[in-house]
Structure 1
Amino acid sequence: MKRAYTKPISETSEADYFPLAKMAWDEDCPDQDITSVSLFSPDQKAIAYLNAREEGILCGSGVTEVLSKLSDGDLQFNFFFKDGEKFAKGDMIAEIHGSLLSMLRVERILLNFLQYLSGISTSTRKIVDQYGSKGIMILDTRKTLPGYRKLAKYAVYCGGGSNHRLDLSEMAMIKDNHLALFGSAKIPVGKIRSNFPGRIVELEIDSLDQLEDALEAEPDVLMLDNFNIPDTRAAFQRIKEKNPKILIECSGRITPEKLEALSEFPGVGVSMGYLTHTTRFLDLGLDIRT
């Protein structure tokens, strides 16, 4: 199964985490941790265990490279699982050795990143395990928190999902607000191909009335937005007859419950803002011992 329309977000770097981690670092402790510095000495050492309180898929371990530097190298992180790997409830995911004050300083920042991104990976994996085998490509969207776009899409990938475009520059998508300004879809498709040859062009339609004109425009991807199942079935059959090279994508408030009905259309992509904007933090805990 293809894992991306363009380039998959299959890995991240320290630079992808740094702006957000540094912002969280400054936000969480603008001066001093007045609780911890009152209770413990700067030279006190500790060990912490990152434990899973429910099963899930790990994502976000790369943030520790930034946190280690921000804490002046006072912490050493040792993970027993890699991003994308499944752990069980009760598993020890990682150990942290070093300064007790630094450990307490990074605790909430570390958990926020890991719980959020692992939550996305875990919910994605559940959906992919159930419906990916039926030939549906589970796609993410650009419905992400500002600054978290690449990390959220990486989390979808770690969960076995597929990546839609990362940004507006990567591929073209002609949506209803674009199409309303032209008499035919062939005009905007042609303009984009002329200005950016070689880029993928996706065209969104929201009714069967637009289908024939859309097929004449020959986009690379045809999105069926908010189609009911009978209309999806009719569009699917017509696209396969007219131009089977066009990729078909379904979208529009799609939740896991709606995927069962779409599983009758093998090979379609299903874009789900649900993957990233309906995320529950995964239950992870950090237990510190001196």
Structure 2
Amino acid sequence: MTSPTLALDPAWITRTVAVALDEDLGPAPGRDVTTQSTIPADAVGAADLVARQDGVVAGLVVAPEVVGQVAARLGLAVPSVDQRVADGTRVARGDVLAVLTGPVQVLLVAERTLLNLASRASGVATHTRRWADALEGTGALVLDTRKTTPGLRALEKYAVRCGGGTNKRMGLYDVAMVKDNHVVAAGSVAAAIEAVRTRFPDVTIQVEADTLDQALEAVGAGARFLLLDNMPTPLLAEVVAAVRAVDPRVELEATGNLTLDRAREVASTGVDYLSVGGLTHSSPILDLALDLEPLQPV
């Protein structure tokens, strides 16, 4: 699993912000026809980044890059960013998360890109924190999946970490996950595992199982990580006990049809992880706003 302390890659932030600004302004340097018409280039002010809902914030780390790139496109000074809370912090409605000070044109042009990224990340972090809180004390961890927004996987998985969750594989390249279609193509679980070991001996192999027999077959073939898919709680408990009796080192993940109200019940079966695709594919944003302070008359 990915380290929960892993930060966002600065190079990823740079690329993603550039794409987002191109969407909003047109190809670089682009333009904001409203702001550049109504706000003098020499106007300077401050804006508060404010939480409009209770939640957990994430993605504030992108703010300096957003205002920096906007300033470069407009040929204006780079605003300062006074970040008041760290990513991963629980906040209440009305809390000021950061204060941005500099050319007003830059602040207003940067507003939507900053809010899109931070609101999305904060929504994921807030949702994840609900799962982490529900599982607290059980010994089980909540995992994300690859069900992410194209182009925003790094941000959304970072947000999961900020919310107290753990990242599963980052993509198809770092972990082998043998599912039913792979077994059909390879001929058996054992054949699929052997094929991965032969071709990519450096990767971790995980195997999906829908039944007790499939789980035991996978363990017998050498699997050390099982995804126990869409199992009702009694069957899940039976499979966990049977696998632990064969090899207590095998890591076990419950997946499919998981809800918050079942979280502790599922964790009580002894699984190590609960994977929840909804952390990234179904989290609503956390409502954030950038409120410009009244400008002083020149």
CA contact (8 A) 1:119 1:282 kept: yes
CA–CA distance in 1 between the matches of 2:217 and 2:9?
Answer: 43
Matched residue, 1:268 = 272
Matched residue, 2:151 = 147
Matched residue, 2:18 = 22
CA contact (8 A) 1:6 1:170 kept: no
Offset from partner CA, 1:262-282 (integer Å, 9 cap, x none): 021234211110100011110
1:229 aligns with 2:233: yes
CA contact (8 A) 2:254 2:271 kept: no
Matched residue, 1:287 = 291
Offset from partner CA, 1:32-57 (integer Å, 9 cap, x none): 22222222211001100011112222
CA contact (8 A) 1:56 1:86 kept: yes
1:131 aligns with 2:135: yes
Offset from partner CA, 1:50-109 (integer Å, 9 cap, x none): 111122222112212321321224311110111112222221110000011111101111
Unaligned runs of 5+ in 2: none
CA–CA distance in 1 between the matches of 2:89 and 2:10?
Answer: 20
- Percent of aligned pairs with the same amino acid: 34
1:187 aligns with 2:209: no
CA–CA distance in 1 between the matches of 2:152 and 2:253?
Answer: 24
Matched residue, 1:169 = 173
Deviation of the 1:14 alpha carbon = 2.1
Aligned match for 2:110, one of 90, 98, 106? 106
- Displacement over 3 Å in runs of 4+: 6-9
Deviation of the 1:198 alpha carbon = 4.1
CA contact (8 A) 2:3 2:166 kept: no
CA–CA distance in 2 between the matches of 1:159 and 1:43?
Answer: 40
Q: Which moved more, 1:7-16 or 1:173-182?
A: 7-16
Deviation of the 1:112 alpha carbon = 0.6
CA contact (8 A) 1:10 1:158 kept: no
Aligned match for 1:257, one of 250, 253, 261? 261
Normalised TM-score (structure 1):
0.93
Normalised TM-score (structure 2):
0.91
CA–CA distance in 1 between the matches of 2:134 and 2:234?
Answer: 23
User: Which secondary structure does the structure 2 equivalent of 1:119 belong to?
Assistant: helix
1:11 aligns with 2:10: no
Deviation of the 1:177 alpha carbon = 0.9
CA contact (8 A) 1:205 1:211 kept: yes
Deviation of the 1:111 alpha carbon = 0.6
Deviation of the 1:197 alpha carbon = 2.6
Aligned residues: 286
Deviation of the 1:217 alpha carbon = 1.1
CA contact (8 A) 1:115 1:282 kept: yes
CA–CA distance in 1 between the matches of 2:178 and 2:5?
Answer: 23
CA–CA distance in 2 between the matches of 1:13 and 1:211?
Answer: 37
Offset from partner CA, 1:185-238 (integer Å, 9 cap, x none): 111112222333342110001223323311211212011111111211111110
CA contact (8 A) 1:184 1:213 kept: no
User: Which secondary structure does the structure 2 equivalent of 1:46 belong to?
Assistant: strand
Matched residue, 1:49 = 48
CA–CA distance in 2 between the matches of 1:196 and 1:226?
Answer: 28
Residues 37 and 182 of structure 1: CA distance in aligned 2, closer, same or farther (over 3 Å): closer
Deviation of the 1:129 alpha carbon = 1.1
Q: How does 1:66-145 map to 2 (within 5 A)?
A: 66-70=65-69, 71-72=71-72, 73-145=77-149
1:207 aligns with 2:203: no
CA contact (8 A) 1:201 1:221 kept: yes
RMSD: 1.6
CA–CA distance in 2 between the matches of 1:211 and 1:263?
Answer: 18
Offset from partner CA, 1:237-274 (integer Å, 9 cap, x none): 10011111110111113222331320212342111101
